[in-house]
Amino acid sequence: MPASTVANFEAQPSATRYIWRRDAGILAGAAVLIRLPALFATRHITFDDGVFGSSALAMRAGQHPFKQVFSPQGPLFLPLVWLADVLGFRTLDGPRLVPALSAAALTVATYAIGRRITTRYGAVLAAVLVTTSGSVLYTTAPITSDGPALALSVTSVACAFAYRAEPSTRRAVVCGFALGAALSVKALVLPAAVPIGLLLLARRRVADCAAAVGAAVAVGLAATLPWGFSRVWDQSIAYHQDAKRIASYASNAAKIVSTLCSRDLPVVVTAALALGTFALARQRSTASASGSGTPALGLLGLWLGAQVLFLMLEPAMWRPHLAHLIASVALLAALSPPPGRIVLIAAVLVAPLYWLNAGPMLWPQPYRGAGAAAERALRRLPSGALAISDEPGFLWRAGVRTPGFFVDGSAQRIQQGDVTAATVARGANAPGVCAVLVWSSRYNQLRGLPERLAADGYDVTARYGGVRVLYEKRDCRPT
């Protein structure tokens, strides 16, 4: 790596605070700007988008996470959704402030790390790769727990790099606080503790390390205490531990490769170009080909390796989980960034495939056909009516609340026996519940559900093709 392209690992960025803040502001603004179509999308973009949108409606009605509202994520996540809903003036789109603001924070945190380990150009390149990554878009356009967890964990890594340059107890506490908050949103970010721990330990300030650990533990306890430790454990930990493995380790590895090569082709291509740039520099015998970038290279490599291993061991690994790899890959590429004109040419070449995979997040389409008809039917329910569905996004976008226990109609809950024909029928018979929308094989596989609903006074009022059926309770008058 040429000496002119490497920032001193120990030193503060050479640019002024003004330039740093200007870059960060532009990058954060761009991150939010490209997510505006998703923020105001009139449909639920993904299944999780609908689950957590419905959770927000349930919390508006006074129901609490883990108590009345089923919550398979960390104890801090739904409170963040509730806060975003308040900041969004309790509009339907309000909860989507969580992914939009998470994207901005993640982008700036990536840039902050880049300014510690490479040039300004490399830092900007890494931030742009992260914020435009298809995998990151799938977790920071719709509502997901991965978005805020990523933002907090990468922020903690950025704090750790700052601590490495200028150690202080305050910075150590901020590192621990951010990592504890990230883990309290989603435990999948645990591998970020590897570079954070090594950066803090490198200064051999035992009191600071203890303060960081104490801050992380304190955040976890504070986030858990209001809901009860047993409830949080059962829903956010044991629920996932008991999940049926849906793919082998080899299949998970194959999914990692295929997802990166489809949703994240710009990141992969840039990383390959960076590797070529580094190899060319070594061939030319540049004196500092690996010099001051070596510590960062090792730390980022360990972070990436630990995260890949963590994903491969995950029993139910989904494609959005690949977003947890992108920051480390982008930053590794930024250590030896390819020339801007080469990056631009590569971006133009991969743009069609990138749009094919990321387009649904960049420009979500409205409901059409059966989906639009189902939403209209739900909007016609009596004022104050509740409904239940295995695709709760339709209820959320129609402004119809669902009982907190049924906000998540995923296959995993059915596999574990949480949701059965009996529990759905019991929920449908509760006061105020006026409709049940079966939209997928999830509820369609519940044997005896149509008969139970008919016995409780439900009629089939619409069919939308295949297994899609809307049941409505006769003479339903919600109080």
Please give the DSSP secondary-structure letter assigned to residue 168.
-
Question: What is the band of 17 on the pLDDT scale with cuts at 50, 70, 90?
Answer: confident
- CA 42, 47, 52: angle at the middle one, nearest 5? 80
pLDDT > 70? residue 314:
yes
- CA 146, 99, 126: angle at the middle one, nearest 5? 75
Instruction: Kindly state the tokens that stand for 217.
Output: 């533990």
| More reliable by pLDDT, 84 or 283 | 84
Instruction: Give the Cα separation of 144 and 404 in Å (integer).
Output: 17
Contact yes or no for 208/162 (Cβ under 8 A):
no
Give the model confidence (pLDDT) of 182-234 as tens digits. Answer: 999 999 999 999 999 999 999 999 999 999 999 999 999 999 999 999 999 99
Q: Which residues contact 302 (CB under 8 A, 6 or more apart)?
A: 194, 195, 198
Question: What is the band of 246 on the pLDDT scale with cuts at 50, 70, 90?
Answer: confident
Instruction: Kindly state the tokens that stand for 409.
Output: 């109609």
Query: Reduced to 3 states, what is the DSSP secondary structure of residue 386?
Result: strand
Can you give the C-alpha Rg of the chain in angstroms? 24
Contact yes or no for 104/8 (Cβ under 8 A):
no
- CA 413, 415, 420: angle at the middle one, nearest 5? 70
What percent of the chain is predicted at pLDDT more than 90?
89
Q: Which of 39, 43, 49, 40 is nearest to 372 (CA)?
A: 43
Please tell me the predicted confidence (pLDDT) of residue 192. Answer: 98
Contact yes or no for 167/203 (Cβ under 8 A):
yes
Question: What is the band of 69 on the pLDDT scale with cuts at 50, 70, 90?
Answer: very high
Give the pLDDT mean for 370-377. Answer: 98
